[in-house]
Chain A
Amino acid sequence: MEALDSVLTAARAQFATTISFHIVLAAFTIGLSNFLLVLEALWLKTGREVYLDVYHYWLKIFALNVAVGTASGLILEYQFGLNWSRLVVQAGDILGPLMFYEVLAAFFLEAGFLGIMLFGLKKVGPRLHFFATGAVAMGSLISAFWILSANSWMHTPAGYSMSGEGRFLAEDWWAIIFNPSFPYRLAHMTLAALLGSATLVAGASAWQLLKSSHNPRARLQLSMAFWTVVALTPAQIVVGDLHGEHTLKVQPQKVAAIEGSWTRPPAGAGEPLRLFGWPDMSERRNHWEVAIPRIGSLYLRHDLSGTIAALDEFAPEDIPPVPPVFFAFRLMVGLGLMMLAQGIASLVLRFRKRLYIARGWLWSCVLMAPTGFVAMLSGWIVTEVGRQPFTVYGLLRTADSVSRVSREQVVTSTWGILLFYLLVFGIGLWVLMRLLREPPRRGEPGPQPTLPDETGRS
């Protein structure tokens, strides 16, 4: 049992590592490709060079990001078999097709038009090139659609039947794809990808404005990033609330873990909002709890006295590890509120015409560059750790999903992957920072500016 336990831990750590790196790259691909699409549309509409310059500048960043994103995503397509082969045997009939459609409908679209988007403006002309940018942006969104559908199905399985050998069989594809938690997750994650990219673009632009405050291109980037933050943060809070409300219905253990609620308060007392605490799994209570009474009921039940199911109402082997869920949720919400504040501040500064010059403000934007993506990762920890101890919620345990691979193979490769990723993506980040240090110039060249002239019969 102990050997199995450590295989399980290592396999989970490995998946967490590969997916965490990949999801940031994938989300940045979604955000940047849509940012680029808007920039190119504005360029085509107004003919102003500043849009094209900023387009080309971020296109270079996009080229690096998307290539590494594809390569880091490949391993995930195979990791299901490497570490989770029993999950595949049981649920492959349902998860497989959803991932298959992601490749067919999304990855090929992205990759097929990527070459034209990166290097082809001179070759195919602006209109067709705009189409290519649109195809790549569309592909990134379709990819999110399918993979989140597969993920959501594991949270809220629907449209299936069980075979004699305990395999999940597809009955109703519509019900499988549009399973109950999917719409919430898709909206929440798409907004998160756009917001994460926006705070990153804002941070980079602020960094550039600190050195060259009159660069009109850096100003344009900052401005666009903050309109995005202003528009999307409130939407994200509403969507997040709806998502949470739905989770309360379908995964009450997860919400109990989020709240750190071990026992239900007496009738009429309402749920407190626990600002801090140290959930203790063995004593099944919180240490050092700091809480405001009744506020929990307000956002959970939208009244002052409603309560939710507490952790002690479930079998001990059916509840998730509480501390990571509890802390990650607080981190996510905290960062989300900071982004809301940042958006409001940007409006005030814009109104006072200090948006591009207030140095303290610009510094705060630089520091907050990773906020969106850190919040996104925290959200994924909440939802994925919160699903434990199940892979297919309520039906298939994580311990019964893992491959029968030797312990040393899994442990060694998990460490290997972690160190490799830190090294390689560390270098990647360093190159990215070097590129972002220089603001976009007038007449900024795209990636490989000589390539169109070097290829072809012209």
Chain B
Amino acid sequence: MDTDWLTLLCAAALAFSVMNYVLLDGTDLGVGILLGLTHSSRNRRAMAVTILPIWDANETWLVLGGGGLLALFPLAYAILLPALYVPFIAMFLALILRAMALEFRDHAPSERVKRLIDGVLLCGSLCTGLIQGIVLGTLVKGVPHLGSQYSGDGREWLEPFPLFCGLVLVLGYTWLGACWLYWRTVDELQHRSARQAKQLAWGTAGLLLVLVAWTTTLHDQYSQRLTAPVVWVPAVLILMALLAVFRSGFRSRFDWVPLFCALGVFVLAFALMLVALYPLIIPPGLTLQAATSKPNSQVFMLVGFAVLIPVTLIYNTYGFRVFSGKVRVGTKS
């Protein structure tokens, strides 16, 4: 069955939302993980300040991803969520912990309590990233379903591949967080973030390669797609270019370069996943076309998306710009 262009546009809208979430909130989650691992309270405060004005807007993309999946591909939503029942609920509780920890840390009565809250922030961010990786891994591996209903035992996510994906994503998010901090902070914290970012870059890139290789063994379609020269040759070239620019970025005077290279690697990995999956939305059997809502609903949503998302991007960018620049804690300018 072919995929019609309306459904393709819907898939593009959904992919855009999910990818934006991963790029934006992934960075926040990475900062949350690093924050919890930082000893100096001054540095922790600086890290929190970099994300405080924007994390809420970034998290909203996850609501759009969920709402988008429900609205654009209701059958996929109805199969995927019951399959990941326990992980999803754990993730939402972890996100609540993260939100509370970030907003309440400055109301802590003592330094010790604040340290404890930052530990909670670490756990919340870590669990969220881990579970998001597990979700993606379970999806790629395939979710058993009969007709429009999930038919598994609720434990597919407990297998090595999804858990490995969780590990990769946590590492990747932490990498994004370190690059973000390199961009937004100064002095000792910035130097430390640069060191962490470089180490995490190799770790993430290495694990990503293992992940792609592992993915090719899961289904015939994946191995055909991913080992086709039109796919892997450009992918490897882009990856090498991104990593090279990433490395030299630390020597340039543009501190944002490493972060954008890291984000580029995420986009590349995401694109590879889509290439492997298309035209499926839930392997092994559910296609985009079969999972989608009817044209009347698709058009209604795509119009809203086309009108409102550009506006949203404009004012979100403005919101970012208002609080852009280096964070210097405890100095009055």
Complexed CA–CA distance, A317 and B333 (Å):
70
Judged by DSSP, the binding face of A is helix
**Residue A173 at the chain B interface, CB threshold 8 Å:** yes
User: Known: A417-B89, A448-B106. Is A74-B100 also a contact (CB below 8 A)?
Assistant: no
Instruction: Tell me the chain A residues, 59-84 only, with Cβ under 8 Å from chain B.
Output: 63-64, 66-68, 70-75, 77-78, 80-82
Complexed CA–CA distance, A428 and B107 (Å):
11
**Residue B312 at the chain A interface, CB threshold 8 Å:** yes
Instruction: Tell me the chain B residues, 52-70 only, with Cβ under 8 Å from chain A.
Output: 52-54, 56-57, 59-60, 62-64, 66-70
User: Known: A77-B67, A406-B154, A424-B100. Is A115-B85 also a contact (CB below 8 A)?
Assistant: no
Q: Which residue in B95, B150, B312 is a CB contact (below 8 Å) of A108?
A: B312
**Residue A347 at the chain B interface, CB threshold 8 Å:** no
In the complex, which residues of chain B have a beta carbon less than 8 angstroms from the beta carbon of A173? 296, 300
Count of inter-chain pairs, beta carbons less than 8 A: 265
**Chain B 118-151 interface 0/1 with A at a Cβ cutoff of 8 Å (1 = within):** 0000000000000000000000000000001111
**Residue A193 at the chain B interface, CB threshold 8 Å:** no
A81 close to B95 (CB less than 8 A):
no
A78 close to B107 (CB less than 8 A):
no
Among A82, A173, A410, A454, max chain B CB count under 10 A is at A454
**Residue B81 at the chain A interface, CB threshold 8 Å:** yes
Complexed CA–CA distance, A434 and B109 (Å):
11
A64 close to B104 (CB less than 8 A):
yes
**Residue B79 at the chain A interface, CB threshold 8 Å:** yes
Instruction: Tell me the chain B residues, 78-123 only, with Cβ under 8 Å from chain A.
Output: 78-82, 85-86, 88-89, 92-93, 95-100, 102-104, 106-107
In the complex, which residues of chain B have a beta carbon less than 8 angstroms from the beta carbon of A115? 52-54, 56-57, 319, 322-323
Q: Which residue in A92, A114, A427, A431 is a CB contact (below 8 Å) of B77?
A: A92
In the complex, which residues of chain B have a beta carbon less than 8 angstroms from the beta carbon of A135? 315
Q: Which residue in A68, A104, A456 is a CB contact (below 8 Å) of B325?
A: A456
Residues in chain B within 8 A of chain A (CB atoms)? 46, 49-50, 52-54, 56-57, 59-60, 62-64, 66-72, 74-75, 77-82, 85-86, 88-89, 92-93, 95-100, 102-104, 106-107, 148-151, 153-154, 293-294, 296-297, 300-301, 304-305, 308-309, 312, 315-316, 319, 322-333
19 cross-chain CB contacts under 8 A: A67-B102, A67-B103, A71-B96, A74-B62, A77-B66, A86-B149, A88-B70, A88-B74, A92-B293, A96-B71, A100-B71, A103-B64, A108-B308, A404-B82, A406-B153, A416-B89, A451-B53, A454-B329, A458-B333
